[in-house]
Amino acid sequence: MIFVFLILVAIRVTWIIAGLPLSLPELKWLLVGERLSDGFTMYKDLYDHTGPLAAFIYKWLDFVFGRSRWVHLVVSTFLVTVQAGIFNRILLKNKAYDENGYVPAFLYIVLMSSVMDFFALSPQLMAITFILLSLNHIFRRIDNVVTDELFLLSGIYLGVATCFYLPAAVFFVIFLLSFILFSSAVPRRLLLLVYGAGVVFVVIWAYFFWFGAGRDFLDDFFVEGVSKARIFYVSFMELLGIGGFLLGVTLLSLTVLFSLRVTNYQQKMQQVMVSFMLAAFLVVLFSRDLMSADLIFFVPTTTFFLVHYFLGLRRKVWKVLMPYLMVIGLLVYPNVWLRNNPPSGLLVKPSEVKVPGNRLMGLGLDVADYQEYVLAGPFLDAEVSRKKMEDLHYYDEASGLFETLEQSAPDAIIDQWGDMAQIFERFPVFSAHYQETSPGVYLRVD
């Protein structure tokens, strides 16, 4: 595994030297961590639908290391290595192949380098760690291992994955069906799966309830996470282009389904991995923030079948050349695509916002406008923020916003929605600190 880790580091260093542009989602996650590490509470003092566990990780990384993209890249590299080790161990322990080795781990890290967004410490990347842990329990159940803790732990892992990235809840449904279809699980144990996930949700809700944000957590993460308008960081066509080689390799690897001779147990494992791929498609379909990081859920299935494909090659020339050609293509294609077809909606561009001070609060600003500023206000996601503004006529919501604004103390406010007049009218104590210097721009005067 040390060799596999060194390969991953070499690939990522090469990407960084060649130029790894900052994406809007990455900047947003950095802003989330910075805001929360200042002592603010997610959903109550920061209006966004980022998963609570992902926000927790960003918060403590910022608290320890500050707002640093490099820290995120280092942690994501470590996490991919851990995932490769977990997945390799799962496949070998459950006898997925007739040969043992580190080929699954090697291919996993190569595939995890085939899309630019896979380098980021995304909620998707963190969620898939726990999905893989749950996958191991499905394989064990197919192998007739029957214990209550197997179902309970699977539910806990899937609940944790969902609280990193809400669309990952699709895997809970797919894995529940897998337990039913491929293992003949009894209803009592299936309820343990549901119970395990439920425990995770209740514990996290209780945490936010303690800090007066229980309802905010439910509204912003669950309700907005499934009902808000979709943000297209990339279009579906751009997504196909960015992940073109990865998806092509996935389709090629699936050809083993029609040619490979396997045991009955291995066949059930293949069926589970096909359902895993179906879940990956559904994640892309249901994601409220469409980005290339969503393709990360295709990596385990592609790795699983690609190992079968390589091991099944018969002609010596193809057995030697095909792995090299495929690995080179997976590593070169994304770099070439990025330079020739840069996704304009995904990458951070220079901002025209220039105001005095370094603490900025914006209503209607783009995430890119904060690249040189500290986020000094609760307004991050536009739709979630709009919903909060509609509730200002309620006392609890108004008092909560007032406390947040007073603690934030922005040096400058930029209002592109025209809502600051309403805020200043409701909070005259707060408005006394600011003076409008140009239309929609307010500077702190004390």
Burial (CB count within 10 angstroms: exposed 0-12, middle 13-18, buried 19+), residue 315: exposed
Please report which confidence band the pLDDT of residue 365 belongs to, taking 50, 70 and 90 as the band edges.
very high
Taking all residues of the chain, what is their mean pLDDT, rounded to a whole number?
89
Domain boundaries, the chain: 2-340, 359-444
Task: Output DSSP code: residue 413.
Answer: E
Structure-derived torsion over alpha carbons of residues 380, 381, 384, 386, reported in degrees to the nearest 10: 80
Across the range 288-292, mean pLDDT stands at 93
Q: Is the pLDDT of residue 38 over 70?
A: yes
Across the range 330-359, mean pLDDT stands at 85
Q: Is the pLDDT of residue 410 over 90?
A: yes
Structure tokens at 35: 């805001």
Q: Is the pLDDT of residue 319 over 80?
A: no
| pLDDT value at residue 335 | 78
Count other C-beta atoms under 10 Å from residue 350's C-beta: 8
Q: Can you give the three-state secondary structure of 338-366, one letter per residue?
A: HHHCCCCCCECCCCCCCCCCCEEEEECCC
Amino acid at 242: I
pTM for the model: 0.94
| pLDDT value at residue 146 | 67
Across the range 133-138, mean pLDDT stands at 91
CA distance 118 to 294: 9
- Closest C-alpha among 39, 35, 113 to residue 76: 113
Q: Is the pLDDT of residue 320 over 70?
A: no
| pLDDT value at residue 264 | 81
How is the beta sheet containing 434-438 ordered, strand by strand? 374-375, 359-363, 412-415, 441-444, 434-438
Buried residues in 174-208 as b, exposed as e (16+ CB within 10 A)? bbbebbeebbebeeebeebbeebbeebbeebbebb
Across the range 182-204, mean pLDDT stands at 88
| pLDDT value at residue 4 | 67
Please report which confidence band the pLDDT of residue 412 belongs to, taking 50, 70 and 90 as the band edges.
very high
